[in-house]
Structure 1
Amino acid sequence: MKKYDIIIVGAGASGVFMSYELTKIPNNAKVLMIDKGAGLEKRICPIKSGKVTNCIRCVPCHIMNGYGGAGTLSDGKYNITTQFGGDLHNYVGTEEALDLMEYVDQVLCSMGGEDAKLYSTGNSDLKTLALRNNLHLLDAKVRHLGTDRNVKILERIFDYTKNRIETQFNTLVVDVEKLDEGFRIITDKGEEFECRDLVLATGRSGSKWISDICDKFHIDLKKNRVDIGVRVELPAEIFKHITDDVYESKIVYKTNKYNDMVRTFCMNPYGEVVAENTNGIVTVNGHSYADPSLRTENTNFALLVSNQFTEPFKDSNEYGESIARLSNMLGGGVLLQRFGDLVKGRRSSARRMEKCFTRPTLKAVPGDLSLVIPKRQLDNIIEMIYALDKIAPGTANEDTLLYGVEVKFYNSKVQVDQNLETKVKGLYALGDGSGVTHSLSQASASGVLAARTLIEKYK
């Protein structure tokens, strides 16, 4: 049986930056990082490679799992802010949280991201325009790397750490046992490893696994929300005045009908819509690229409605999954509908899509989202589209495309202290898997924080 000082379960953003910091700062810790996905060179989605046209539910999903986590094949947006993207500032303070995110940005630039533009929404004219139309633009600095540049940066980070951090891919941790001094983990390959400190950094796709571990060790969990919505795709020209200025615009709107909050999320100028597999459920997302030759004629972004539940209902993620399953049942995966068809109460058919001026970047099944998304959420989304049309005329055009469903699952928030350590000594939970963070910047920052904490023990 191999013994280590630190084992990191999960090679997503938090695990990657933890391994970077453990490599950079001298220490004597023997470290193993395990992930159920593949290494970078083998993370190839069959849709992207042209082998298939629709999601075939690879296990594990190459978009969601593997080195770099779900952020690897994303559009590589790092938002430096505490206004959204997680609650790390509630643990370490706003100043420290921002300093950690700025440090992550410096590392990314040193690894090849220095040419990526840094945008800022703080002094944008868009903020004034939004306020005049009852919309609210959140403040952030945004570094957009692009999917292509993002992968190259992660390759360099892996090369930097590979001789210091032992890494094992395509390996699932099936159980964790508490020892008198440390922990024992058991993998699906029948291997057993022991360590003094165990770090849970499994990301969004590992939410159920972390919940099971916390239940086993009687660690309190606070149920989180789930966001349900659609991915909007429209000609890039419609949002060009916004994306050229701030690139990523987090716009929040409070609906008149229900007084609910709707927000834009993950804006991808000149990008493409993609499908992803989360625990066997196919949902929709978006990517964009830094290389102009890879850009499309469209911009896509999500519109999400936040859902928080009261007693006796507790499992918000199950609610989101049930809606996504319904979409998968009707369309075999992602459903696609023209906005004009939705407001007229009719399904989009193949015949209607042939006449659509906006060309979809994802092959999806034309259908009727009103059969999938609950009326309240759908009413909120429609109202938000008309609100956005006031600052970006053309958003409410008939040929604006809506893909469904997009679901953002938030892991139950694990009870941790300011060092992200649970009440079980030596057991840490960080990144999106802990529910503390919801973004690449904050997840990466949490990895740096945990590494610096443990380095003190292993100097």
Structure 2
Amino acid sequence: MKYDVIIVGAGPSGIFAAYELMQYDAGIKVAMLEKGNELSKRACPINDNKIKSCINCPTCNIMNGFGGAGGMSDGKYNITNNFGGELYKYIGRKEALDLMYYVDEVNCKMGGADAILYSTENSNLRTQALRHDLHLLDAKVRHMGTDKNLVIMKNLYEYLKDKVEIIFNNEVSDIEKLGDTFYVKAEKGEYQCSHLILAAGRSGSKWISKICEKLGIKTESNRVDIGVRVELPASIFEHITSQVYESKIVYRTEKYNDLVRTFCMNPHGKVVTENTNGIVTVNGHSYSNPKYHTENTNFALLVSNRFTEPFKNSNEYGESIARLSNMLGGGVLVQRFGDLVKGRRSSDRRMEKSFL
């Protein structure tokens, strides 16, 4: 089958690529090839209380499917150049911000108009943080919540389904280029196109690197983020989350000058497991509907590093550490903070006293 454009991956990048192509020219022939399920069939058995731990489903419904990993997340959309991606390095700071506001506009049009837009402007938290040598980064954050985020994804799917051919459960294995034509090999057949967009997301990043190497496309190592997800009673962080839903707080360590930062804060949320290429890790979800709020807040605490030559594979480095963690704990490692400070394991008896 021949198309004008093929998009590999139906996560946020792929979805918005398809959306923009339809805005540009609704007559072009576009296909999206996605290894996961359509949105209505994305259900994790853990979330449905059918099982207690990850059973390594052939395709993880938390990570893959229409909407990608972001489609099942807590739906936080950051409008800033201070963290997240580095698009501004390629197109300029103003242009990058303009695109973020445009994405926000589309999201609001697709069902998120009543979601709160939080801002760090005029926040006294910045002064409080500086007293402890911490730095609060400037940002605006639109919090949709896991529930409203799914509504937006559903509406985007309804908009695209009659304009773009979306083929689910169709993992792409290889790509070749002969002349001006790309040949895309997938589970359900071989496809051809004049233009190709690779939007396979985090779970497909290693595969994209291999394809880029094969096609002679230069890549470079991204920073490596390694850390833990912290869960604590929501009341402890209420003075922060009530003002700034997603606070990015940064600290530089004294000895090595490493960058330590908070990430993906989920007030009154829950910790969920996800499976990336057979490695089980955790993420955080939170809902906009108070009905689904919990008594806990969770956030990630990450240490970021950019390694220099001869280091080349940031993905493999991060995955190897996560894989070793799985080996040690038979899955995700859980430890109480008090036990960590005392240098001891968190036994079942000690965990029973926890608020988790």
Report the CA distance shift for 1:18/1:312 in structure 2 as closer, same or farther (over 3 A): closer
> Structure 1 residues 317-326 or 332-341, which shifts more?
317-326
Partners of 1:225 and 1:317 within 8 A in 2: no
Q: Which whole-Å CA distance do the structure 2 matches of 1:115 and 1:3 have between them?
A: 41
What fraction of aligned residue pairs are identical, expressed as a percent? 67
State the SS of the aligned residue for 2:231.
Answer: strand
Q: Distance in 2 between matches of 1:26 and 1:310?
A: 43
Partner residue in 1 for 2:128: 129
Q: For residue 119 of structure 2, what is the amino acid of its counterpart?
A: S
Q: If the length of structure 2 is used for normalisation, what is the TM-score?
A: 0.98
Unaligned runs of 5+ in 1: 361-459
- 2:203 maps to 205
- Contact 1:108/1:153 (<8 A) preserved: yes
Q: Who is 2:290 aligned against? A: 292
Amino acid at match of 2:64: N
Deviation (angstroms), 1:218: 1.1
Q: Residue 254 of structure 1: which of 252, 255, 260 is its match? A: 252
Aligned residue among 179, 193, 196 for 2:194: 196
**What is the match of residue 105 of structure 1?**
104
Match of 2:31 in 1: 32
Q: For residue 139 of structure 2, what is the aligned residue in structure 1? A: 140
Q: Counterparts of 2:321 and 2:173 in 1: how far apart (Å)?
A: 28
Distance 2:117 2:271 in 1: 23
Q: Relative to structure 2, which stretch is displaced further, 84-93 or 316-325?
A: 316-325
- 1:302-321 maps to which residues of 2 (within 5 A)? 302-321=300-319
Correspondences of 1:2-401 after superposition (within 5 Å): 2-189=1-188, 191-356=189-354, 358=355, 360=356
Deviates most, 203-212 or 322-331: 322-331
- For 1:315 and 1:20, the matched residues in 2 are separated by 32
CA-based RMSD of the aligned residues comes to 1.1
CA contact (8 A) 1:5 1:31 kept: yes
SS at match of 1:335: coil
Letter paired with 1:92: I
Q: Which runs of 5+ in 2 are unaligned?
A: none
- Conservation of the 8 A alpha-carbon contact between 1:4 and 1:196: yes
- 1:25 CA displacement: 3.8
TM-score by length of 1: 0.76
Letter in 1 for 2:310: P
CA distance in 2, matches of 1:18, 1:212: 22
Using the TM superposition, give the Cα deviation of residue 103 of structure 1 relative to its aligned residue in structure 2, in angstroms.
0.7
In structure 1, C-alpha distance between the alignment counterparts of 2:198 and 2:318, rounded to whole Å: 24
Distance 1:246 1:178, change over 3 A: same
1:316 Cα deviation from its structure 2 partner: 2.3
| 8 Å CA contact retained: 2:36, 2:61 | yes
Following the alignment from structure 1 to structure 2, what is the Cα–Cα distance between the partners of residues 171 and 80? 33
CA distance in 2, matches of 1:69, 1:160: 17
The whole-number CA distance in structure 2 between the counterparts of 1:346 and 1:137 is 32
Secondary structure class of the residue paired with 1:310: coil
SS in 1 for 2:52: coil
Q: Which moved more, 1:15-24 or 1:290-299?
A: 15-24
Alpha-carbon distance in 2 for matches of 1:212, 1:316: 14
Is the CA contact 2:220–2:312 (under 8 Å) kept in the aligned structure 1? no
The aligned amino acid for 2:21 is: L
What is the distance in 1 between the residues matched to 2:312 and 2:107? 38
**Cα distance between partner residues in 1 of 2:91 and 2:40:** 36
Structure 1 distance, partners of 2:235, 2:44, is 29
Equivalent residues, number: 356
Question: 1:97, CA displacement in angstroms?
Answer: 0.8
Seen in structure 2, the aligned counterparts of structure 1 residues 218 and 25 have a Cα distance that, compared at 3 Å, is: closer
In structure 2, distance between residues paired with 1:109 and 1:183: 35
